[in-house]
């Protein structure tokens, strides 16, 4: 996020996330890129690896908050472990690319009920 409007929005988002975490909830952040090397010409976009590192190092969401990372370059086992840690509550915050959407989508859809 660039500029002061983006910084203010980011502060509001992180404040809402902190409140959710304090209430025992979890949160996830979806980034459009895996790493900054893919961001050439896209300086305003956040990369999952950099956001994960920044949140872990700066403690933006509070001390002791577990941060997980999920993206398409991880092995299947690493992806499964990241999702399991988040689902079980071992990790309170999951930073991901859109791979999380693809992993969460059911492989086959149940038949729709017929309209009457």
Say what the alpha-carbon torsion angle 18, 96, 84, 59 is, to the nearest 10 degrees.
Answer: -30
Query: Could you report the per-residue pLDDT of 61-99, keeping only the tens digit for each?
Result: 777 888 999 988 889 999 999 999 999 999 999 999 887
How confident is the model over 6-47, as pLDDT tens digits? Answer: 465 578 888 999 999 999 999 989 888 887 665 566 655 678
| Separation of alpha carbons 99 and 93, rounded Å | 16
Q: What's the whole-model pTM score? A: 0.70
Domains and CATH numbers, the chain: 3-104 (3.40.50.300)
β-partners of residue 27 are 93
> Which of 116, 81, 91, 92 has the alpha carbon at shortest distance from 103?
81
- Tell me the helices (H) and strands (E) count for the chain, helix number first: 4, 3
Which of 96, 104, 95 has the alpha carbon at shortest distance from 72? Answer: 96
């Amino acid at each position: 996020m660039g500029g002061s409007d983006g910084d203010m929005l980011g502060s509001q988002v992180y404040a809402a996330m902190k409140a959710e975490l304090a209430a025992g909830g979890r949160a996830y952040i979806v980034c459009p890129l895996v790493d900054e090397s893919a961001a050439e010409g896209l300086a305003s976009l956040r990369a999952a690896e950099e956001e994960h590192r920044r949140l872990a190092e700066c403690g933006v969401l509070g001390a002791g908050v577990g941060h997980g990372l999920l993206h398409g370059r991880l092995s299947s086992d690493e992806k499964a472990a990241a999702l399991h840690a988040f689902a079980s509550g071992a990790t309170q915050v999951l930073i991901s690319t859109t791979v999380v959407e693809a992993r969460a989508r059911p492989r086959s859809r149940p038949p729709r009920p017929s309209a009457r």
